[in-house]
Amino acid sequence: MAKLPGAKKPELSELGRVRDRISFLYLEHAKINRQDSAIVVTDNRGTVFVPAAMISVLMLGPGVDVTHRAMELIGDSGLSVIWVGERGVREYAHGRALNHSSKLLEAQAKLVSNVKSRVAVARKMYQMRFPDTDVSGLTMQELRGKEGARVRRIYREQSQLTKVPWTRREYDHDNYEAGSPINRALTAAHSALYGLCYSVIVALGASPGLGFVHTGHDLAFVYDFADLYKAEVTIPIAFAVTAEYGDDDDNQDDLGRRTRLAVRNAFADGKLMVRMVKDLKTLLGDDEQPVDADIVNLWDDRLGLQKFGVSYREFDGGDTA
C-alpha cells in the first residue's frame, strides 16, 4: 500500500491535554483541508493554518466543505468536531473522545443507574452553585426550585446592571431570529458554552447523554454541566454584548457572532477549561490518577479483567466448586 503524504499519526502522549487547548473555533462558508499536522482553512479572505492538536472543539457551520484527509487528522489529534447550524446554535453530529479510555464512562454509567448515587451527583452540582448553603438534605424538587429562583435573580440583576430590558427567557428552536436581542445573545452564548462543555466531556471519555438532572436527550449531561457556568460566564456576556449592540439595527444580524466572539475571548485564558476538567472528574469520582490509553481488557464475571489479544483455550466446563 502506498504511503500517504503528510505527518505520521501522533502518539497520544504527544497530543495537548484538553485543559491546555484553545477552547473552540467556529467556521462557516470555508473549505477545510490539511497540510502535515495543520488544518488548512480557506475562504474568500485567504488561507489560515490551524494546529489541530491545540484546538479543543471545531464547530463547523453552514457552507463548510471538509476533506477526508482533514477529518483523518482531526480524529488522530483528538479534536472534537461538532456540525452546527447557522451561528452555531444547533448541534447535528460529533466526533471521537481524546483519551481512548472508558474509565469515566463506566463510572458515570454506574452513578446514573442508581437512584441514590444519581441524586448524590445532582446535589454535588447544585452545591457548586450554592457554596454557602448546605443542600445535602434538599429533595430534587427543592433543588430545582432553589436553582430557578437563583437564575431569575441573576437575569434581573444583569438587566438592572446593563439597562437591557428583560421579561423572560424565550427561544424558538426553529426560528432564531424571532427572539428578542437579549434572547438571541443568550442562545448564541449558551451554544458556545455547550460546545466547550461537550468537548471536555467527550475528550475525557464521559457520555454527553447520561445526565443526572436533565434526561432523555443525547446531550443531557452537556446541559447539566453547562448550567454550572452560565451564571458566571455566558449570562453576563450576553447582557453586556446586547447592551452595546442590541439597540443598533445595523448590528442586529451580527449580534450572535459578536456574542460568540466575546464568549470565546472569555474562554481564551484557559482557566475555565482547567476548572471544567477538575469539576468533571470531581463529579464522577475520578481519583486524578493517569489512565493508560489504548488498553483493552476482556471482562469476566468471576476472574475480573483479562488480557485482550490472547487465544484462550476452550473451557472444559469441569467442577468449579
CATH number of the structural domain 103-283: 1.20.120.920
Helix %, strand %, coil % of the chain (to 5): 45, 15, 40
Q: Which amino acid is at 133?
A: T
Residue 242's pLDDT is 93
Distances (CA, A) of 100 to 12, 52, 155: 9, 17, 40
How many Cα atoms sit within 13 Å of 183 on the Cβ side?
14
- Say which residues have a Cβ less than 8 Å from residue 129's Cβ, sequence separation at least 6: 147, 150, 227, 228, 231
- Say which residues have a Cβ less than 8 Å from residue 164's Cβ, sequence separation at least 6: 158, 181, 182, 239, 242, 243, 246
Residue 114's pLDDT is 95
Domain 12-94 has CATH 3.40.50.720: no
Give per-residue pLDDT as tens, 262-278.
988 888 766 788 888 88
DSSP 44-80: TTEEEEEEGGGEEEEEE-TTEEE-HHHHHHHHHTT-E
Shortest CA distance to 241 belongs to which of 263, 273, 268, 219?
263
The answer to whether the annotation marks 173 as part of a ligand binding site is no
Give the DSSP letter of residue 36: T
Q: Which three cell numbers stand for residue 5?
A: 503524504
Residue 46 near residue 162, CB atoms below 8 Å: no
Spell out, as residue ranges, where the chain has pLDDT lower than 70.
Answer: 1-24, 78, 86-101, 172-176, 178, 246-253, 269-270, 287-321
Residue 182 near residue 252, CB atoms below 8 Å: no
In the block, residue with C-alpha cell 457548586: 128
The answer to whether the annotation marks 253 as part of a ligand binding site is no
Residue 79 near residue 16, CB atoms below 8 Å: no
Residue 36's pLDDT is 79
How many Cα atoms sit within 13 Å of 290 on the Cβ side?
6
Q: Which three cell numbers stand for residue 86?
A: 447557522
Give per-residue pLDDT as tens, 195-241.
888 878 887 889 999 999 999 988 899 999 999 999 999 999 999 99
At residue 246, the 3 state secondary structure works out as coil
Residue 79 near residue 53, CB atoms below 8 Å: yes
Q: Which amino acid is at 256?
A: G
Strand partners of residue 297 = 307
Rg value, the chain, Cα: 22
Q: Which three cell numbers stand for residue 72?
A: 483523518
Q: Which amino acid is at 248?
A: D
The answer to whether the annotation marks 147 as part of a ligand binding site is yes
pTM of whole model > 0.75? no
Residue 96's pLDDT is 54
Residue 28's pLDDT is 85
Euclidean distance between CA atoms 6 and 13, whole angstroms: 19
Domain boundaries, the chain: 12-94, 103-283
